[in-house]
Amino acid sequence: SALLEVKNLQVRVAEREILHGLTLSVNPGEVHAIMGPNGSGKSTLSHVIAGKPGYEVTGGEILFKGEDLLAMAPDERAAKGVFLAFQYPVEIPGVATMTFLRTALNAQRKSRGEAELSTPDFLKRVREVAGSLGIPQEMLKRGVNVGFSGGEKKRNEVLQMALFQPSLCILDEMDSGLDIDALRIASEGVNALRTPDRAMVVITHYQRLLDYIVPDFVHVMSRGKVVKSGGKELALELEANGYAQYQDAAA
């Protein structure tokens, strides 16, 4: 059965309806790309799945592993295996990245009934993953995302995913602000996390990212709905013909 099922989702932000009946079904092991122009509601969808406050769900439902996701608090969703890599990762001055990673990882392990990692085991895991992502140890001593470049912030999100091992990874415009080398490194990190029981939802408005993270399915969002779905070739068709044709269909 589906890992994530979004059924006819309607969402309001600040009294305005942003998502107008969005449906999406994601099975374990699949990578889905969501493409669409700026303002089509891509980040809104990711925020509602993660449980960010400020969104009013006025219709529809979201099931995760068959359970009502919207009834769960954000930390409960994370504990169940939902991870959102934000388009704009937040800075947390005064909390060292290493401390943040350890606290979050242990909280998650605890909620899953798993023992805390010992300090040496934790350090070993972080160093391994950080090394594979080209993240210097020095960066992990700095406040979370404080003074990180765009590329470093995105790599830090991939580092969190690799440590937390979520069953659903949502990547919101991971490519924004990345140069080609940073994009390649971050994408390799993401691809290393593809497994038969983990699914990914990759949000982007450029086809370029999908050369690196090759999706199984592509969905086009326009004005708060999925207006077309297809295979990876749909991304190339969009690159050639643009979004305007779908904007008309959604209006």
Residues that bind Mg ion (CB under 5 A): 38, 42-43, 87
Where in 48-67 is the site for ligand ADP (CB under 6 A)? 54
- As measured in angstroms, the least distance from the Cβ of 42 to ligand ADP is 3
Pair 62, 69: CB distance under 8 Å: yes
CB neighbours of residue 159 within 10 Å: 23
CA dist 42 and 204 (Å) reads 8
- 13 is an interface residue for ligand ADP by CB under 6 A: yes
- 89 is an interface residue for ligand ADP by CB under 6 A: no
CA dist 123 and 117 (Å) reads 9
Cβ neighbourhood burial of 165 (10 Å; 0-12, 13-18, 19+):
middle
Helix/strand number for the chain, H first, E second: 10, 12
Which of 22, 24, 42, 163 forms a contact with ligand ADP (CB under 6 A)? Answer: 42
CA dist 157 and 86 (Å) reads 8
Which part of the chain contacts ligand ADP (CB under 6 A), choosing from 39-47, 128-136, 157-165, 178-186? 39-47
- As measured in angstroms, the least distance from the Cβ of 111 to Mg ion is 29
Q: Considering beta carbons, is residue 10 or 87 the nearer one to Mg ion?
A: 87
Q: Considering beta carbons, is residue 14 or 251 the nearer one to ligand ADP?
A: 14
CA dist 57 and 24 (Å) reads 16
Q: Which residues pair with 221 in a beta bridge?
A: 226
- 36 is an interface residue for ligand ADP by CB under 6 A: yes
Q: What is the DSSP letter of 189?
A: H
The alpha helices in 192-231, defined as continuous H runs, are 209-212
Instruction: Return the one option of ligand ADP, Mg ion, none that residue 94 interacts with (CB less than 5 to 8 A, by type).
Output: none
**Which residue in the shown chain puts its C-beta closest to Mg ion?**
43
Q: Considering beta carbons, is residue 158 or 170 the nearer one to ligand ADP?
A: 170
Which of 5, 24, 33, 40 forms a contact with ligand ADP (CB under 6 A)? Answer: 40
CA dist 169 and 125 (Å) reads 20
- As measured in angstroms, the least distance from the Cβ of 167 to ligand ADP is 23
Instruction: Return the one option of Mg ion, ligand ADP, none that residue 145 interacts with (CB less than 5 to 8 A, by type).
Output: none
